[in-house]
Chains A and B, each alone.
Chain A
Amino acid sequence: MIEARGLRKEYGGFVAVEGSTFSVDSGEVFGIIGPNGAGKTTTLKMLAGLLEPTDGDVSVAGYQAGETEMRKRLGFLPEESPLYEEMTPVTYLSFFADLYDVPGGVADRRIHDTLDRLDLEHRERPLGDMSKGMKRKVAIARSLINDPDVLIYDEPGSGLDPLTTNYIIEFTRELGEQGKTIVFSAHNLFHVESICDRVAIMNEGRIVARGNLDELQREYGETRYHVYTTVEVADSVKENGNYRRVVESMDAVEETREAATARGGSVVDIRTEESSLEEVFLNVAEPEA
């Protein structure tokens, strides 16, 4: 659904994105993570056709980024929600429905359905009088007004309270389950981990790692083994009547078992723990650390 090949974006000598190549399949939820200034937003804007790449090209739904047909199939949510604050949500959304050639009856139904799903009340209140969370919901509703195949969301939960953020992330997950192709960036890696099929990690304008979570964990993460013994062994802590030792290899597990046996005890449980995306991210972004 989305093909990005060799994307490069330069702002007067400053390279914001360099050599980004990736693809997103239809119906896939693709996350882009990275520290501030890594090039996430620039990448998303190039996908949306807002920025023209200095080099490389992007196709979305079979069209070059920026083409009118491509824009009709796209829903874009910028990091901020720049709304016309003197308008009501319905008036605001109606204008965009009109702009996207959505027939009047369909638009009315879609506006109210979407606002129902987003649990937005006070629809006749001017947007300027609404809370940040409510405005964000209206912005999301706008991104869906044309029933797009592709959604590009830049930090959808940015600046919102945890409750609203969770609500929006959950809503995004539902959109993914409905078959929308979604590319989004987030700082909260837990959210990315919870809804993304695949992830790209950016740093200093480059994609430094990509794949599904398993692949990333295998390549950049660590597997830790929690070995529970009946007797105390080196580096173990007492836990629920047994002793737990955390090791990072199967050889260490074997050593622990031998040590417990030597002391007349035994291993009663072994649990594995994979690195979280945050740990993977930290490993990739700051390998020296």
Chain B
Amino acid sequence: MGAGRWLRTRSRNVLRIGRWEITKNAGGVDKRTILVAAVAMVGLAAMAPVAANQGVALDSGLYRVGVEPSSPYYGAVAADPTFVVQAPSPEAVEKGRQEVLIQGGTVADYARTQKGRAALAELRSTVQRYNDARMVDEPNQSAAFPVLVDLRYVDRDVSQIVVPNGESGSDETGSDSGTDLSVGTETDGASAGDGTSTASGDGGGSSGGDDGGSTAEGTAGTATDGDDDGSTGTDSGEDGSTGADGDDATTTATDTDGDQSGGLLGSVGDRFTASLSGGGVSGTPSDIQPPFPFRSLVLAFVFVLPLNFIIQAYGSTMLSERIKRRGELLLVAPVSRGDIIVGKTLPYFAAAIGIAAVIALGLDGGAVSVLAVAPLAMLFLSATFLGAMFARSFKELTFVTVTVTVSLTTYAFVPAIFTDVTPIALISPLTIVVRDLQGQAIGLGELAFSTLPPTATALVLFGLGAGLYREEDMFTQRPIPLKVLDALAGRIKRKRSVAFVTAILLPFVLVTELVAIAGLFALQALSLRLTIVLTLVAVAVIEEVAKSLHVYAGYVHAKFDRSLRTALTVGALSGVGFFLVEKLSLIVRLADLMSLDIGRAAFNESALSGPVVLSFLLAPLALHVVTASISAVGARRSRESYFLALLVAIAVHVAYNLTVVMVLGWQ
């Protein structure tokens, strides 16, 4: 059969099965349910942009305030939907029908309850906002705002976070610190290049520095006419005082410039970009707060939420094929297993992409957003598919889908919240989505870095699930661990298959390791040293299991004879397979990583030459071959021997990792 005909046949079968999947499910849901679901989905799609941009107003009409229209507070209260304006009544306050009582220009009374106190606090904020807004409307802006502070939050440069030996950190850190601490640090009122700082009036910040002011990366300062009173200087001084913290920061970064223009506010600015702050904040300097990444959070949530619903339906339909033996008739039809799986998955994948497209459209996103959601959708569906192949009942399926939901949502959602905080956020495709929606440029390398691992993992999961999509595995009630072994053993036809299976498991290994690192990243309370050790242990466990589990499965399914020679052979094959694909992927990722800040930080060019490259190749090869062989030797005997050997292999691996880290320079 020619390739064209083969493709046509596959496509036709897949589309038929996909159409069938839709038809049969549509037949099982009454029209009213479909209508309600459609309305709910449209509502969600319509609400998403609003929620993303404005949040949800749950506090409307929450507090009752008694205030006369003649009161100077009336305008502020009436303009805030949080409050309900009522006629002032001391009796109402007393009886709990009114939280705050304003008489004339003063707050006369408030309910002595938790709600009353909250209402009072809210009123203060409202009045302050109201006053700020009035100041903004003031025709003489110079009078309204004698000091203007122009904050620019810049993307965090990786050089700020990786300064292992103090060689390169000083200047750059100093520069950045200067940038960050620009608020109120410049005292002469002059604009400093394109960067830095502020101009104030004649008030003086208590600190500041030319270093900071002179850096190219500094925050642009905007000078006002600076003719005002000392209060401005006081403000600047307050800001400038934060420079002391920045100073600490630069000291940590081995900055020897004595740059005092670092500051807490600056470092916070590094973490949260101006794009999230919404901008245009006016008021006193104390109003300047680090923007919470609310928008990232909502955007990430909106995209990941529908996937959780889709996998429920998908898992249910796949399990029904097994539990009710419906899948048997498709297995005997003239279509391949691949056709069936792709065909049954396609409608759910299309639904995920369709919903993502609608949401992206509503949020002014582009095709990149949809493109980035695609691997995530595949990952959710593939994990659910494999889980549905393992589950023996709908009860177990619930456990599976909850596990998938929690683990993959964590993987996708948590890093995306920190889109603008750290480049590691790129491990999640949702980070690409958030960046796309925020109008940031996305490089091809970044896109590949985010999307290829989940895509490859999804394909591996589908592949493993497909190994179970056959009569003797689908319709039997075997324990899940045995099914895992079935799925792995199904891919082993001969000894050299071991290397292939190890290789195809690598994307799974990579993502698992990324998730583990993301988990450790979340545990910021741990010391750096402990975090590194835990990371090395996690990596060793993941890699050794990935190199040996299918070898053990092969022994369980009598794919190999149990001689020592065979064990060493399959172990070596597994190690070599892992090494080859790991290094290949490293080369590929290096190309991508070198375009990223994190990549440049991790692999500076001097480290990738001569003996270092050679040791990068030979030592890991030896490690993987040795540890995989240890596990294989244990696997040939029994389950207990395998576990014991696996522990030994992990210990060797951890020891190796620690040695490498110490040789390269433990900081």
Contacts and interface: CB of A to CB of B under 8 A. Distances in A.
Interface of A: 11, 45, 48-51, 68-69, 71-72, 74, 76, 78, 80, 82-84, 86-87, 91, 95-96, 98-101, 126, 142
Interface stretch (B180-188, B287-295, B327-335, B620-628): B327-335
A84 B24 contact: yes
B332 A50 contact: yes
B472 interface: yes
A68 B339 CA distance: 12
Contacts of A91: 23, 27
Nearest to A74: B332
B24 A100 contact: no
25 contacts: A48-B332, A50-B331, A50-B332, A51-B471, A68-B334, A68-B336, A71-B334, A76-B329, A78-B325, A83-B326, A84-B24, A84-B27, A84-B326, A86-B24, A87-B24, A95-B20, A95-B23, A96-B329, A96-B333, A99-B13, A99-B17, A99-B334, A100-B333, A100-B334, A101-B334
A223 to B, nearest CB: 42
Contacts of B336: 68
B610 interface: no
Q: Which 5 A-B pairs have the closest CB atoms?
A: A86-B28, A71-B334, A86-B27, A82-B325, A50-B471
Nearest to B324: A82
Contact of A11 (B17, B332, B472): B472
B554 to A, nearest CB: 14
Nearest to A88: B27
Interface in B1-47: 13, 16-17, 20, 23-24, 27-28
Contacts of B325: 78, 80, 82
A230 B13 CA distance: 76
B472 A76 contact: no
A99 B333 contact: yes
Contact of B27 (A11, A50, A68, A87): A87
The B contact surface, by secondary structure, is: helix
Given A50-B471, A71-B334, A82 B329 contact: yes
A98 B16 contact: yes
A95 to B, nearest CB: 5
Contact of B334 (A50, A72, A126): A72
Q: Which of A80, A99, A142 has the most B CB atoms < 10 Å from its CB?
A: A99
Contacts of A96: 329, 333
Nearest to B326: A82
A78 B17 CA distance: 21
Contacts of B472: 11, 51
Contacts of B333: 71, 96, 99-100
A145 to B, nearest CB: 10
Contacts of A98: 16
Contacts of A100: 333-334
Contacts of B326: 82-84
Contacts of A87: 23-24, 27
Contacts of A71: 332-334
Contacts, number: 61
Q: Which of B332, B333, B472 has the most A CB atoms < 10 Å from its CB?
A: B332
B333 to A, nearest CB: 5
A50 B24 contact: no
B16 to A, nearest CB: 5
Nearest to B25: A86
Given A72-B334, A74-B332, A82-B329, 20 more contacts: A11-B472, A50-B328, A50-B331, A50-B471, A51-B471, A68-B334, A68-B336, A71-B333, A80-B325, A82-B325, A82-B326, A82-B328, A83-B326, A86-B28, A95-B16, A95-B20, A99-B16, A99-B17, A99-B20, A100-B334
A76 B332 contact: yes
A142 B332 CA distance: 12
Contacts of A69: 334
A114 to B, nearest CB: 16
A78 B28 contact: no
B219 to A, nearest CB: 63
A42 to B, nearest CB: 10
B138 to A, nearest CB: 67
A263 B24 CA distance: 80
A98 B17 CA distance: 10
Contacts of A142: 329
A126 B332 contact: no
Contacts of A84: 24, 27, 326
Contacts of B24: 84, 86-87
A20 to B, nearest CB: 17
Nearest to B13: A99
B662 to A, nearest CB: 47
A48 B334 CA distance: 11
Nearest to B334: A71
B335 A99 contact: yes
Contacts of A126: 27
A77 to B, nearest CB: 9
B188 to A, nearest CB: 79
Nearest to A146: B334
A24 B17 CA distance: 33
Interface string B160-200: 00000000000000000000000000000000000000000
A156 to B, nearest CB: 15
A232 B272 CA distance: 114
Interface in B462-494: 471-472
Contacts of A99: 13, 16-17, 20, 330, 333-335
B179 to A, nearest CB: 63
A166 B471 CA distance: 30
A21 B330 CA distance: 27
Contacts of A11: 472
A90 to B, nearest CB: 12
Q: Which of B16, B17, B329, B471 has the most A CB atoms < 10 Å from its CB?
A: B329
Given A72-B334, A86-B27, A95-B20, A45 B471 contact: yes
Nearest to B332: A76
Q: Which of A48, A84, A87 has the most B CB atoms < 10 Å from its CB?
A: A84
B27 A78 contact: no
Contacts of A48: 332
Contact of A49 (B27, B332, B335): B332
B346 to A, nearest CB: 15
Contacts of B27: 84, 86-87, 91, 126
Nearest to B328: A78
A49 B328 CA distance: 11
A98 B12 CA distance: 10
Contacts of B332: 48-50, 71, 74, 76
A95 B340 CA distance: 13
Contacts of B16: 95, 98-99
